[in-house]
Amino acid sequence: MEITVETYSISYFSSEFVTENYSVVLWKGSGVFCVDDINYTYNGCTILFLSPCQKLKLISENEENVNVLFFHGDFYCIEYHKEEVACNGLLFNNIYLNPGVVLTEENYEYILELFYHIKKEKSEKHQFSESIIKTYIQLILAIGSKQKSSSENHRVPQDTLPNKNAAEFQKLLENHFKNEKELAFYSDKLNITNNTLSKAVKKEFSKTPTQLINERIILEAKKLLHLTYRSVKEIASELGFSDEFYFSRYFKKAVGCSPRNYREKVGISVVAKMSM
């Protein structure tokens, strides 16, 4: 069964942690967590949703345990279940939002209990265990999606309204990332300097425009590797790389493995198989 629940000391995450599975990380305390080299502060009960091959570090002021649910995309495909749980692009695979979600103590304890039931159900190996576990996963993702969407919708104080230049950059990036990879293209489109754009984007998203451009390309590459049967050469071409080998080096530098190796580890989704 391609699923497991593990408990670690928080010090286990002081060095970089990577897995080919989807991961749901649950802990509480205060400190800093780092996902793909971007730092985020946390305080209280936190749940974190990681896609395959994302890199995690945790620096905590407390000695709490960290509970992690791992599931492979072949066991529970978030794209296939998008009608039931709208988590793809909210909890997973969103480069613009903080990947962590602040939980109430009640929801923290409830999800911890669901982790326990998943572990127990897995050990029983009953004929209905797989269906029950998938229902538990769906419930965890639904709670996370509800909490995340609620917290995003309440970002309304006047001084935290999105910067216009940052918002326009996001729209431009979504439309042009496959062909336009240079900062100058976006600042020219907005008729502002590179420095002005960089400050606006950094303030809004805690990342530089260049980081977001690179992350958007890598995110799309991961999707195409996982959700389609297209060759690496075809994917490279679709993402604006004339040289397949340059694309492979670009991908490996960001992810830590080659596109082919990523596809071998993560697999090709049932969604791709159903579309044939």
Per residue in 148-170, pLDDT (tens digit) is 988 766 554 444 546 899 999 99
Q: What pLDDT score does 153 carry?
A: 61
Nearest to 73 by CA among 3, 141, 15, 121: 3
Q: Which residues contact 17 (CB under 8 A, 6 or more apart)?
A: 55, 56, 57
Per residue in 227-272, pLDDT (tens digit) is 999 999 999 999 999 999 999 999 999 999 999 999 999 999 888 8
Per residue in 58-87, pLDDT (tens digit) is 998 888 899 999 999 889 988 888 777 778
How many CB atoms sit inside 10 A of residue 106's CB? 9
Q: Where are the alpha helices (DSSP H) in the chain?
A: 105-124, 129-153, 164-176, 183-190, 194-205, 209-227, 232-238, 244-255, 259-266, 270-274
Q: What pLDDT score does 166 carry?
A: 94
Tokens found for residue 49? 């949703």
Q: What pLDDT score does 271 carry?
A: 80
Contact 53, 4 (CB under 8 A): no
Radius of gyration of the chain (CA): 19
Give CA–CA dist 97/152, Å, rounded. Answer: 9
The rounded percent of the chain whose pLDDT value lies above 90 is 80
How many CB atoms sit inside 10 A of residue 159's CB? 4
Distances (CA, A) of 76 to 2, 22, 95, 135: 9, 9, 22, 10
pLDDT at 1 over 70: no
How many CB atoms sit inside 10 A of residue 230's CB? 14
- Identify the band that residue 275 occupies on the pLDDT scale cut at 50, 70 and 90: low
pLDDT at 173 over 60: yes
pLDDT at 201 over 70: yes
pLDDT at 37 over 60: yes
Q: What pLDDT score does 157 carry?
A: 46
- Identify the band that residue 88 occupies on the pLDDT scale cut at 50, 70 and 90: confident
Q: Is the pTM of this model over 0.85?
A: yes
State the average pLDDT for the chain.
91
Tokens found for residue 171? 């729209």
Per residue in 202-218, pLDDT (tens digit) is 999 999 999 999 999 99
Give CA–CA dist 7/101, Å, rounded. Answer: 19
Q: What pLDDT score does 133 carry?
A: 96
Q: What pLDDT score does 61 carry?
A: 80
Contact 83, 39 (CB under 8 A): no
